[in-house]
Each structure stands twice: as C-alpha cells, then as structure tokens.
Chain A
C-alpha cells in the first residue's frame, strides 16, 4: 500500500521524470530551434529562399514525425547504446526523447516564427538588417510569446513520451506506472502516478501560459 517506501519511490520517480523531461526538452530545442528557423528562412517566401534545403529538411522532419514514438524508441536503441552506453534507465531514455521531439519542436518553432508580421520583417530589412541579426533581434524577440506557448506544449508532449518509455526500461513515473500499475495491478499506485503526472502537466502548461502572457507587450 502507500507506505513510506512507496512514497519515496514515487518521489524518486518524480525527480527522474523531471530530469528526463527537462534535459530532453533543452537538448531537443538545441536541435529543433535552429531547424525551425532554417525552415522559415529557406521557405519560398522567406528571407533567404532555398527550396532544396527547405524540401530536404522538411522531408526529414516529416519522416521522424510520422514514426510512432514507441517504434522510434525501439529502433534507435543502437544509437542510444553508442551515446549513453546502455539502453536502460533515465539517461538512456533521453536519446529517443530528443530524437522524437526535436522535429516536433522544429514545426512548433516554424509556426511561431511565421506569425511574425511580414511588415515588421520588411521594415527591419529596409533598415539594413542582415539575416543573422534579423533572427536574433527581430524574429525570436517578436515571436517570443508564441515560442513560450510552444515550449509549454513541447514539454508536456515530452512528458507523455517519457511515460511511455517505461515499457522498455526507461525510468521515472512511467516506469512505476508500468511495473506496479500494469504488471502487478496495484491500482492505487497507478492512480497516484497518474495524479502526479496530471499535476506536472497542468503546472507546466499554466507556467508557460503565464510567462507568455507576461512577456507579450501587444496587449
């Protein structure tokens, strides 16, 4: 039942889950953000149209996005073993999480950046802004509220993926839910993990929305 030992285990599960999710999100953004920006810039209406780069990148993103996470998770195990040295545990789960969510984040970033008023971009170009400065002085700051909302969506999606990884020996709350809730039918532990997951998702979503609202000066 819910004794001290179980609670300690759930506590450890929460920390592991947060660790997996946060590290994965940061790594996935490190890959997805530049890809998203390149997708916008090389678009045929972008500031540096380049159809070949755009098409190839778009294809790779769609390809990875169309593989269900459970399948992707299994098929990247050789890569995981190369990088982390093992395919089990919390750190090992980060690899498939990043591979699965980076393309998703690229699309989120792409759609946020595309919301920036083309008139503002034109004005910035008319003032002699080069591509690089346009990205970090105009596109990202102007899209910031939308990027933050996208961040909240991304982090909750990654949380969902991380729970799934419990099936192939990933750590965290997903692992607990699978082992105790599924294999041993201890429904009270399952209920607690589900409740905790709901609270975490709500927390991230709420935090993201508040940050976005506070950072938006367009009121």
Chain B
C-alpha cells in the first residue's frame, strides 16, 4: 500500500449513546488518519471516548455519523460477511486480555485461524511459532488461569497477530500490568511493529506508554481530539490544556511552590553523558532547586523533563536560561496559577 494513503481514516466520526433519559456524545466529529507502519497513540482520561473511538475502527461500535475507511474500504458499505472478513485483518488486544478460559494457550492462538478457515495442522504450527516468538513455548498446553498477567497479554498478542493483520488495536493493553511487565509488553509491541510492519493503535491514559513507543499521538478530551502530532512535538510543547495536564502529570505538582519562578526544561535527545544541570550550578555558583524530574536514558540520549526553580536574581536567571539555550535544551516558564 502507498505510504501516502492512510490505512485507517476517520472522517467526521460521531457516536451518540442513548441512555434511559439522555443522550451522551461519546465522540464528536473525529477526523483521524493513521498510516501504514505507524504506532499511533490515543491518550485521554477515562470517559474521554478512547475505547469507543478504537471500537469504531473495527466497527464493534457503529458510528452514529461519519465514515471509517479501512484499507480503502468504507466499513459502512460492507455486508456482515465482508465485515467479519475485514475484522480478521484487524487484531485487537484488551486490558483484561479476554482469553478463552476453557481453551489451552495453544488453542487460544489457534482460534482466529479456525475462524479464518485455516486447516488445523497448519494453524497449530503457526500458533507454536507465534508462542515461541512471544516467549511462551513452555506454556503451550497451560490454561490461561495458570498464567500471570504479562503472560496472558503475550498470549493475547500472539492470538491477535495470528491471522497476519494489517493493524493491531490495543485497548489499554498495559493498564492492568505492573511497570516492569508494561515495559516488556511495550517492547514486544515495538518488535512486532518493526518485524512485520503492523500498524499499531494504542489507547491509553498513561503518557509513559505514549512516550515509550508511539510515533504520533492524539489527545482526546470529552469526545474531541484537542491536540495531535508527533510525540516529540506534543511532548516538548503541548498546546492544549489537556495536553499540558498529561505532560505535567498533574496540576498540583507545581502549585505548591509559591510565587517563585519555575521552569520546565525538556530533554529531547541531548547527550545523557553531559551533566547539564550540575555543570550549570557549578558555573554560576547558584543553587537550582529540582522540583520534579523524569528523565529516561534511551540509547545514550536523554529524554524527559524536569521542573526547576531558579534563583530570584533576574540577571542570574537570564544567564542560566541562555546557558540552557546554548545546549539546545528547551524550556518554558510554568505558570503557578494551576
């Protein structure tokens, strides 16, 4: 498929849920293009409409208005039989894993192949290969109840990609997992993306997940996309209120620091080996108060952010900021009235 044509394209997608005595707008006029090979993150707080949005992509939820184009086909135009066929080329994993509890691990991975009409022998061979790839060759005959959360999600991933789908939808796939397991699952997803070129759509409420593996991100709030773009750009310079909230994690964190000037500095691939802050302190002989820091070392480069409080002396502050500029560290003043 041509790179210039999106694999998933949403236009004006609106979803209204009718409850007993009111209507709830879960999604309002969503336009979204996701291209082949991307890892696209959709982030928002609970109730923002993320889960509904991802379910519109495989028509588990039919949009009230608007169109969903998958791989050049308008899903609304398809017959039920055709839609079922299309769903076989869209894998999906879930927060609660949703494995078939009465089937062994092997039979779980075989399930989508059975549905697709693959002969049993062939299906089992492929399932064994996939389970090897996700590192569970020793659990083939176990039942899901005997596995840990991370192992269950690995089975779910193997199952979701068994039919060689073009897209993998992940609905809060790591939200029920501890941080270490989350990291290993995210690595596995990245691996799958690179090895097979599967486009991945990730729904999450955690910025960490987006930072870890996504290329692009859309921020969803109250059923609307309020900000979107490359992850670096949104991360360095969030424009929307929701974006700022997600990047800063929470408002309270800097509201408690009185009236002094607080700056948020962003590390975006500078060398992790150069101790910029401590060099700065040494150079200006002035204290810098680090209020919050979240820096990751990825391949020798620093990514992350820090909240620092600079001295009250205005000239000194200016000099320090210039020092940061020279080292191409981006910063911005954080307003206190959060």
Asked if B134 lies at the interface with its beta carbon under 8 angstroms from chain A, I say no
Q: Is the CB of B98 within 8 A of A120?
A: yes
Q: Is the CB of B87 within 8 A of A130?
A: no
A140 to chain B, nearest CB (A): 10
Most buried by B among A127, A215, A219: A127
Total contacting residues, chain A, CB less than 8 A: 24
Contact of B90 among A126, A133, A218 (CB under 8 A): A126
Q: Is the CB of B99 within 8 A of A120?
A: yes
Q: Is the CB of A128 within 8 A of B145?
A: no
A residues less than 8 Å from B102 (CB atoms): 141-142, 144-145, 215-218
Instruction: Say yes or no: A130-B100 contact (C-beta < 8 A), given A123-B92, A219-B145.
Output: no
Q: Mark A208-219, 1 if CB is under 8 A from B, else 0.
A: 000000011111
Q: Mark A132-157, 1 if CB is under 8 A from B, else 0.
A: 01000110011011000000000000
Interface residues of A in 181-219 (CB under 8 A from B): 215-219
Q: Is the CB of B100 within 8 A of A120?
A: yes
Q: Is the CB of B100 within 8 A of A138?
A: yes
Asked if B11 lies at the interface with its beta carbon under 8 angstroms from chain A, I say no
B residues less than 8 Å from A127 (CB atoms): 87-88, 91-92, 111-112, 115, 159-160, 163
B residues less than 8 Å from A133 (CB atoms): 115
Interface residues of B in 92-109 (CB under 8 A from A): 92, 94, 96, 98-103
Instruction: Compute how far the CA of A152 lies from the CA of B298 in the bound complex, rounded to whole angstroms.
Output: 60
Asked if A77 lies at the interface with its beta carbon under 8 angstroms from chain B, I say no
Residue of B nearest to A126 (CB): B92
Asked if B143 lies at the interface with its beta carbon under 8 angstroms from chain A, I say yes
Total contacting residues, chain B, CB less than 8 A: 34
B residues less than 8 Å from A217 (CB atoms): 101-103, 143-145
Residue of A nearest to B112 (CB): A127
Instruction: Compute how far the CA of A101 lies from the CA of B28 in the bound complex, rounded to whole angstroms.
Output: 50
A residues less than 8 Å from B111 (CB atoms): 124, 127, 137
B97 to chain A, nearest CB (A): 8
Instruction: Compute how far the CA of A123 lies from the CA of B101 in the bound complex, rounded to whole angstroms.
Output: 12
Instruction: Compute how far the CA of A145 lies from the CA of B145 in the bound complex, rounded to whole angstroms.
Output: 15
Q: Is the CB of A142 within 8 A of B84?
A: no
Instruction: Compute how far the CA of A126 lies from the CA of B99 in the bound complex, rounded to whole angstroms.
Output: 12
Instruction: Compute how far the CA of A176 lies from the CA of B163 in the bound complex, rounded to whole angstroms.
Output: 62
A residues less than 8 Å from B169 (CB atoms): 126
Residue of A nearest to B80 (CB): A130
Asked if B58 lies at the interface with its beta carbon under 8 angstroms from chain A, I say yes
A151 to chain B, nearest CB (A): 16
A residues less than 8 Å from B114 (CB atoms): 137
Asked if A68 lies at the interface with its beta carbon under 8 angstroms from chain B, I say no
Asked if B85 lies at the interface with its beta carbon under 8 angstroms from chain A, I say yes
B residues less than 8 Å from A124 (CB atoms): 100, 111
Q: Mark B29-71, 1 if CB is under 8 A from A, else 0.
A: 0000000000000000000000000000010100000000000
Q: Mark A107-132, 1 if CB is under 8 A from B, else 0.
A: 00000000001011011111111100
Instruction: Compute how far the CA of A115 lies from the CA of B205 in the bound complex, rounded to whole angstroms.
Output: 29
Asked if B281 lies at the interface with its beta carbon under 8 angstroms from chain A, I say no
Instruction: Say yes or no: A128-B88 contact (C-beta < 8 A), given A142-B100, A218-B101.
Output: yes
Instruction: Compute how far the CA of A46 lies from the CA of B102 in the bound complex, rounded to whole angstroms.
Output: 21
B residues less than 8 Å from A119 (CB atoms): 94, 96, 98
Residue of B nearest to A125 (CB): B60
Instruction: Compute how far the CA of A125 lies from the CA of B58 in the bound complex, rounded to whole angstroms.
Output: 10
Q: Is the CB of A141 within 8 A of B60?
A: no
6 contacts between A and B (CB under 8 A): A117-B96, A117-B98, A123-B98, A127-B91, A127-B92, A218-B143
